[in-house]
Amino acid sequence: MIADKKLRILIVLTYYRPHTSGLTIYAERLAKAFAKRGHEVTVLTSQFLPNLAREEVVDGVRIIRAPVLFRISKGVIMPTFGWMASKLVLDHDVVQLHLPQFDAAGIALRGRLLKKPTVITYHCDLNLPRGYFNYFVNRAVDFMNHMAAKFTHSIVTYTQDYAEHSPYIRQYLNKLTVISPPVELPEATADEIKTFADSNNPENVRPVIGMAARFATEKGVEILLAALPKVLEKFPQALVQFAGPYENIMGEEHYFKRLEPQIKQFQQQGHWQFLGELNPLEMRKFYANIDVVVLPSLNATEAFGLVQIEAMINGSPSIASNLPGVRQPVKRHQMGEIFPIGDAEGLANALVRVLTNPDQYIKPIGPILEEYLPDSVAIKYEHLFEQISKELIVE
């Protein structure tokens, strides 16, 4: 029985830590959970920064990085990646692929041919900005993703809601398994939380509206900017704290420049603050010091919004756009509001409702915490690997 033994698990994705995104955070948490459960875990990824080690062990996880020859948009070209993948698939018991990923099809085929249980974790649909070049990139990645889906044994996604609305996943519902994403943050003392507040909001301005994300087109920062004047009419001291990288984001430089003048105006008025990229402990303190978190995401490149669960388990409600998948944390746990996609007035009204009556949106966090523990998620993956292994034996 596969669940009764320690596995050699190969995890493959284009970007891994220290790159920051929901996908990389998910992959890191799951990899560490597998390692803590005694499995031998290897991550194959790109050396997307030249100063990153080609191979290292972090938190019990072996990380192997393929050299990058050059980039195409957010993609990377790695001539030795296929050779490295062939050897690693052969040496491991199971394979987990994180999509979107251009190289996934070839690895899924290797897993199929070698009869290694192979699972795709599908994070989101790819939706690059308009343009001839991006059109062809989208088409190429879509084609490779479909090849990967045909070769893989199972596809995991966060919610049935997202799967049924995704043009990609809904074609493969017969292979679908729904597993909630892993969420955890370190504990912080009351003194640490207060020190963070004193440093970043010394005058204790309220309410604080949190947004935790990369500054990227799909995140809908302009929707929050457009909503803010109406919120300020009701709460003249309101402050937005943006936690996450915001300058020189690959492929997002033009987006930041377009919104920068408006943001600077709110900064000068004391209503907007960039906190930069925070480590996990700092994120824990961030959530403890905000009144609400917002996800004004605009398209299917956002499939869930892990930050919603991070906020909820720290007692902060969420306001999310009505995107498939993204709306599920609020629907499941009743800690927040949902507003129409791209509707700044709808976001403003939801913010006013939540900030006016915060007690109505606070729920017991114990059940939420248990569902998303990385260990709980790792166990569900182990069961899936076992199920696939049994099916391969029958074949």
Q: What is the predicted pLDDT for the residue at 4?
A: 62
Cis peptide leading into residue 329 (ω within 30°): no
Q: Is the pLDDT of residue 209 over 60?
A: yes
Which residue in the block uniquely carries the two structure tokens 């803590």? Answer: 36
Q: What is the predicted pLDDT for the residue at 393?
A: 84
DSSP code for 327: T
pLDDT digits (tens, 9 = 90+) for 253-311: 899 999 999 999 999 999 999 999 999 999 999 999 999 999 999 987 888 999 999 99
What is the architecture, at CATH level 2, of domain 2-182+373-394?
3-Layer(aba) Sandwich (3.40)
Going from N- to C-terminal start, the domains of the chain cover 2-182+373-394, 190-371
Q: Are 104 and 120 in contact (CB under 8 A)?
A: yes
Q: What is the predicted pLDDT for the residue at 124?
A: 86
pLDDT band, residue 73 (cuts 50/70/90)? low
Work out the mean pLDDT of the chain and round it to a whole number.
Answer: 92
Q: What is the predicted pLDDT for the residue at 323?
A: 95
**Fold match, 2-182+373-394 / 190-371:** yes
Average pLDDT over residues 222-250: 94
Q: What is the predicted pLDDT for the residue at 1?
A: 43
DSSP track, 101-148: -TTHHHHHHHHHHTT--EEEEE-----PPSSHHHHHHHHHHHHHHHHH
Q: What percent of the chain has pLDDT over 90?
A: 79
Q: What is the predicted pLDDT for the residue at 125?
A: 83
Q: Is the pLDDT of residue 129 over 90?
A: no
Q: Is the pLDDT of residue 61 over 80?
A: yes
pLDDT digits (tens, 9 = 90+) for 150-175: 999 999 999 999 999 999 999 999 99
Fold classified for 190-371: Rossmann fold (3.40.50)
Q: Which tokens is 20 given?
A: 């920051």
Look at the pTM and tell me if it is higher than 0.95. Answer: no
Determine the Cα–Cα distance for residues 93 and 221; give it in Å rounded to an integer: 42
Q: Is the pLDDT of residue 2 over 60?
A: no
pLDDT band, residue 100 (cuts 50/70/90)? confident
Q: Which residue has the higher pLDDT, 301 or 67?
A: 67
Q: What is the predicted pLDDT for the residue at 128?
A: 62
Q: Which residue has the higher pLDDT, 98 or 134?
A: 98
**Amino acid in the structure at residue 278:** L
Q: Is the pLDDT of residue 117 over 80?
A: yes
Q: Are 388 and 3 in contact (CB under 8 A)?
A: no
Q: Is the pLDDT of residue 3 over 70?
A: no
pLDDT band, residue 247 (cuts 50/70/90)? confident
Which residue in the block uniquely carries the two structure tokens 């978190």? Answer: 293
Q: What percent of the chain has pLDDT over 70?
A: 96
Handedness of CA 129, 130, 135, 139 (dihedral sign): positive
Q: What is the predicted pLDDT for the residue at 145?
A: 87
Determine the Cα–Cα distance for residues 355 and 349; give it in Å rounded to an integer: 10
pLDDT band, residue 136 (cuts 50/70/90)? confident
Determine the Cα–Cα distance for residues 357 and 204; give it in Å rounded to an integer: 19
Question: Residue 123: phi, psi to the nearest 5?
Answer: -90, -40
